């Protein structure tokens, strides 16, 4: 009871702080807020904290505290929830896929609502600010003596800059791999990347309108040469804004799919120009506006710091398995205490290929089954992945007891994934639909479910695997023990394989699935194993300590280097760039101090845990399995694509379960096709025969956009639906139809 009350209190505090932060953004454009805020600033100037301290406490600290509480909540939240039997109708309706489009992907009702609210906020903010400007319009007395339309255009361009500021305040949150908001809502990192893309596009669109409108007015008034290179002592620094805009446009242009997929290195390196963008944004807008966007920057830098420290020590690849479709499974060591949930991802860097490039891959193993190792499956179709494939293929294929004399050092970052396994434990049955390399996360899910240590899990599972060539069947090798035990009471797995580009093959599933070669590596005498991203309490304490240190340093430096007014006066202003330099210096100094402390602690722990890697536990799994006739009992279809309407109709009847989860991972067209079926079924547009058999009710929808870049990185999609199909529901539905007919 005490723990439940604590979780309820923490959730209430998070919601309250989020509402307070959002309310500040809504009220900031109004005259009431402007008047009250000026009074608060005048009162704060003569205090110990000063106006900068007030800006930080009001504009930045609420959302920073909200993230800290979120980490505490994750620490006390149970990893597994009891299976639910009923779903609120509101949650189900908001989770329905209502938009299926090739340009935006699949959007749920909840996502559409959030996007609509954000657009309404931007329109409200722009309208209120421009209306207040036009009410005070005196063009003839303005600095540049503008005409009416010139004044209106100039003020509108200025307000577009504030819309860009609102987008920047949220821009970095979606790409934080371990931030609490996405873990709490079950949104995976790959899903949130598209939110980052949308926010970045909107931000630079507004910033371009802001800069182009201002430059246009300067050109009309023949002031372009005088203003464009000016670095003012107070107020807006125009040159800094121009540099920030140019850098932002360079980052945006090099992130286009045409550049990102063909020239990934250009995309990767130019994205690090965000440091220059943020610094010159501060010089352009000033400290007050910077504190509005500081929370995302602050938490992003701390998270980046933790990622660097975690991935600093290198480990070695234990072994690799080569599949005939030019894919490899890489087995890596891990600490026994490192636990992760299915569908988690890790980022790896191999210095012998590139010293700077990091690439993400889905984890194919389960921490509930493998205590000392974890594995990823990589489809080699890019320059980076091909280099790794060639490096492994050149090594001799040896027996399990032998070793090669070469070690491949690798840095590991992660894992990142959902905070709990709720999306598995709440279903009676699972329908898994995979295409190509998209089967990788399902391997982790199946091993997790089959683990005897799980308390609640689906008992009946059907895996529909679509591939171009039959050699892709070998990827299922890690779950051969599960495929051969298809009739146990605890776990029933049925496999349906569809090979689309082959008419027929003499090879059976049993023969194809064992076409795997294994390579073992010498790992050296001493190395370290990945031990995770850190506990939630540790991350909360680091964020709290760093924010307090930054606040203390900024206040101290302001008193030392800036004059402290004896009386509050709105006319007393310090040099803008000097105030900004104090913020930058305080920020970087606090980050350096916390980096030294955290690195020392992590280094001390890693030295205590260093040990000689023993990979004998994984050799059992890497060895070849004998042919088993049970494998050939599964369905294998050549030259055909699956009929999803037929599969979705029969599966609930075959399982007899009342709650069936549907997870999809694969090519975009396949995902959109299944999402369309779910969307139409929720709206009642399925055919009469299917409508008699099925009653779809969408429960959750998570999109992870599939993106193949030049490095072979594959980002997968997951769609979760709930299919309700009980005999009582069908009988009630038939009775209602008979009554309507009468």
Cα dihedral 649, 652, 656, 657 in deg (nearest 10):
-160
CA angle 177, 180, 184 (to 5 degrees): 115
Q: What is the mean pLDDT of residues 215-244?
A: 82
Query: Do residues 465 and 670 lie in contact, with contact meaning Cβ atoms separated by under 8 Å?
Result: no
pLDDT at 384 over 90: no
pLDDT at 691 over 50: no
The pLDDT tens digits of the residues spanning 582-635 come to 888 888 888 888 888 877 776 666 555 554 444 433 443 433 445 566 676 788
Query: Do residues 221 and 144 lie in contact, with contact meaning Cβ atoms separated by under 8 Å?
Result: yes
Nearest to 96 by CA among 113, 80, 84: 113
Output the six-digit token pair for 711.
């490095």
As a whole-number percent, the residues of the chain with pLDDT over 90 amount to 16
Cross-strand pairs, 379: 327
Q: What is the mean pLDDT of residues 723-729?
A: 46
Output the six-digit token pair for 719.
């769609």
Q: What are phi and psi of 97, to 5 degrees?
A: -75, 115
Q: What is the mean pLDDT of residues 254-266?
A: 83
Q: What is the mean pLDDT of residues 274-294?
A: 90
Q: What is the pLDDT of residue 104?
A: 72
pLDDT at 699 over 60: no
pLDDT confidence bin for 455, thresholds 50/70/90: low
Query: Do residues 722 and 425 lie in contact, with contact meaning Cβ atoms separated by under 8 Å?
Result: no
As a whole-number percent, the residues of the chain with pLDDT over 70 amount to 72
Q: What is the pLDDT of residue 151?
A: 86
The pLDDT tens digits of the residues spanning 349-358 come to 898 888 878 8
Say which residue the tokens 């308390």 belong to.
455
Query: Do residues 62 and 296 lie in contact, with contact meaning Cβ atoms separated by under 8 Å?
Result: no
Angle between helix 61-76 and helix 287-310 axes, rounded to 10 deg: 30
Question: Per residue, what are the HEC states of 690-717?
Answer: HHHHCEEECCCCECCCCCCCCCCCCCCC
| Distance separating alpha carbons of residues 344 and 338, to the nearest angstrom | 13
Q: What is the pLDDT of residue 606?
A: 58
Q: What is the pLDDT of residue 202?
A: 95
Asked, as a colleague might, if the bond just before 415 is cis with ω within 30 of 0, I would say yes
Q: Which residues of 313-349 are buried (b: 16+ CB within 10 A; e: fewer)?
A: bbbbbbbbbbbbbbbbbbbbbbbeebebbbbbbbbbb
What's the mean per-residue pLDDT of the chain?
76
pLDDT at 120 over 90: yes
DSSP 3-state of 474: helix
pLDDT at 53 over 80: yes
Nearest to 85 by CA among 670, 515, 699: 699
pLDDT at 417 over 60: yes
Nearest to 482 by CA among 457, 515, 518: 457
Q: What is the pLDDT of residue 177?
A: 76
pLDDT confidence bin for 246, thresholds 50/70/90: very high
526 vs 139, more confident: 139
Query: Do residues 323 and 475 lie in contact, with contact meaning Cβ atoms separated by under 8 Å?
Result: yes
pLDDT confidence bin for 88, thresholds 50/70/90: very low
The pLDDT tens digits of the residues spanning 345-378 come to 888 889 888 887 888 888 888 888 888 888 999 9
Q: Poorest-confidence range of 32-46, 140-154, 512-526, 565-579?
A: 565-579
Q: How far apart are the first and last CA of the chain?
A: 53
The pLDDT tens digits of the residues spanning 148-164 come to 888 888 889 999 999 99
Q: What is the pLDDT of residue 621?
A: 40
Q: What is the mean pLDDT of residues 463-472?
A: 86
Q: What is the mean pLDDT of residues 422-431?
A: 73
| Distance separating alpha carbons of residues 92 and 374, to the nearest angstrom | 35
204 vs 666, more confident: 204
Distance from the Cα of residue 557 to its chain's centroid: 36
| Distance separating alpha carbons of residues 704 and 171, to the nearest angstrom | 18
Q: What is the mean pLDDT of residues 474-490?
A: 73
732 vs 190, more confident: 190
The pLDDT tens digits of the residues spanning 642-685 come to 887 777 777 767 766 566 777 888 777 777 777 777 666 554 43
Question: Per residue, what are the HEC states of 72-123?
Answer: HHHHHCCCCCCCCCCCCHHHHHHCCEEEEECCCEEEEHHHHHHHHHHHHHHH
Output the six-digit token pair for 582.
């104090």
Q: What is the mean pLDDT of residues 571-592?
A: 76
Half-sphere exposure of 246 (CA within 13 A, CB side): 7
| Domain boundaries of the chain, sorted by first residue | 1-78+92-294, 423-508+631-726
Q: What is the pLDDT of residue 582?
A: 86
| Distance separating alpha carbons of residues 349 and 366, to the nearest angstrom | 21
663's enclosing H/E stretch is: strand 659-665
pLDDT at 208 over 90: yes
What number does CATH give the domain 423-508+631-726? 3.40.50.80
Out of 454-468, 520-534, 709-723, the most confident range is: 454-468
Q: What is the mean pLDDT of residues 71-78?
A: 82
Q: What is the mean pLDDT of residues 282-308?
A: 88
Q: What is the mean pLDDT of residues 383-392?
A: 87
Say which residue the tokens 């100039």 belong to.
154
């Amino acid at each position: 009871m005490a723990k439940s009350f604590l979780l309820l209190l923490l959730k209430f505090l998070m919601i309250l702080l989020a509402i307070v932060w959002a309310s500040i953004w809504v009220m900031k454009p109004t005259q009431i807020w402007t008047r009250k805020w000026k009074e608060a600033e005048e009162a704060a100037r003569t205090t110990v904290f000063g106006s900068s301290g007030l800006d930080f406490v009001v504009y930045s600290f609420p959302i920073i505290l909200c993230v800290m509480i979120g980490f505490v909540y994750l620490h006390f939240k149970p990893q597994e929830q009891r299976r639910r039997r009923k779903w609120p109708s509101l949650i189900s309706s908001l989770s329905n896929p209502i938009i299926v489009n090739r340009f935006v992907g699949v959007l749920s009702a909840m996502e559409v609502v959030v996007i609509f609210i954000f657009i309404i906020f931007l329109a409200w903010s722009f309208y209120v600010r421009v209306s207040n400007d036009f009410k005070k319009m005196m063009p003839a007395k303005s600095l540049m003596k503008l005409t009416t339309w010139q004044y209106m255009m100039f003020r509108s361009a200025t307000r577009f800059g504030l819309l860009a500021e609102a987008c920047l305040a949220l821009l970095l949150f979606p790409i934080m791999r371990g931030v609490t908001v996405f873990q709490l809502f079950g949104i995976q990192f790959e899903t949130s990347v598209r939110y980052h893309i949308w926010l970045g596009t909107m931000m630079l669109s507004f910033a371009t309108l802001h800069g182009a409108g201002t430059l246009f007015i300067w050109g009309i008034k023949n002031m372009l040469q005088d203003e464009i290179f000016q670095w003012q002592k107070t107020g807006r620094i125009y040159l800094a804004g121009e540099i920030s805009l140019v850098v932002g446009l360079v980052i945006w242009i090099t992130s286009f799919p045409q550049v990102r997929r063909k020239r990934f290195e250009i995309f990767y390196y130019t994205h690090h120009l965000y440091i220059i963008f943020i610094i010159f944004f501060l010089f352009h807008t000033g400290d007050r506006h910077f504190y509005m966007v500081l929370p995302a920057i602050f938490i992003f830098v701390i998270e980046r710091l933790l990622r660097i420290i975690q991935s600093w020590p290198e480990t070695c690849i234990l072994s690799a398995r080569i599949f005939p479709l030019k894919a490899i499974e890489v087995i890596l060591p891990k600490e026994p205490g490192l636990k992760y949930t299915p569908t988690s991802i890790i980022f790896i860097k191999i210095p012998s290929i590139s010293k700077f490039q990091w690439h993400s891959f889905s984890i194919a193993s389960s921490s509930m089954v493998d205590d000392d190792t974890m594995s990823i499956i990589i489809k080699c179709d890019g320059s980076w992945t091909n280099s790794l494939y060639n490096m492994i293929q050149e090594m001799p294929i040896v027996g399990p007891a032998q070793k090669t004399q070469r070690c491949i050092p690798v840095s590991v970052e992660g894992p990142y994934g959902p905070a709990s396994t709720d999306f598995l434990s709440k279903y009676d049955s699972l329908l898994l639909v995979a295409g190509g390399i998209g089967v990788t996360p399902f391997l982790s899910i199946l091993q997790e479910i089959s683990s005897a240590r799980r308390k609640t899990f689906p008992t009946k599972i059907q895996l529909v695997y679509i591939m171009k060539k039959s050699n892709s069947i070998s990827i299922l090798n890690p779950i051969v023990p599960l495929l051969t035990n298809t009739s146990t009471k605890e776990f029933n797995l049925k496999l349906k394989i569809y090979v689309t580009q082959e008419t027929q093959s003499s090879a059976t599933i049993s023969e194809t699935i064992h076409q795997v070669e294994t390579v073992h590596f010498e790992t050296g005498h001493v190395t370290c194993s990945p031990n995770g991203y850190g506990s939630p309490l540790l991350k909360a304490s680091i964020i709290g300590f760093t924010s307090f240190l930054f606040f203390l340093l900024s206040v101290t430096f302001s008193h030392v280097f800036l004059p402290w007014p004896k009386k509050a006066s709105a006319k007393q202003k310090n040099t803008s760039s000097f105030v900004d330099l104090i913020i930058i210096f305080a920020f970087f100094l606090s980050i350096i101090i916390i980096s030294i402390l955290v690195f020392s602690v992590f280094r001390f722990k890693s030295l205590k845990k260093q040990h000689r890697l023993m990979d004998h536990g994984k050799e059992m799994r890497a060895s070849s399995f004998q042919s088993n006739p049970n494998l050939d009992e599964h369905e294998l279809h050549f030259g055909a694509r699956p009929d999803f309407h037929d599969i979705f109709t029969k599966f609930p009847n075959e399982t007899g379960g009342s709650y069936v989860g549907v997870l999809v991972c694969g090519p975009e067209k396949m995902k959109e096709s299944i999402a369309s079926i779910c969307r139409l079924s929720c709206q009642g547009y399925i055919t009469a025969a299917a409508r008699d058999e099925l009653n779809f009710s969408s429960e959750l929808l998570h999109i992870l956009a599939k993106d193949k870049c030049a490095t072979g990185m594959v980002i997968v999609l997951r769609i979760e639906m709930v299919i309700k199909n009980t005999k009582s529901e069908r009988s009630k539905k038939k009775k209602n139809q008979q009554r309507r007919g009468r």
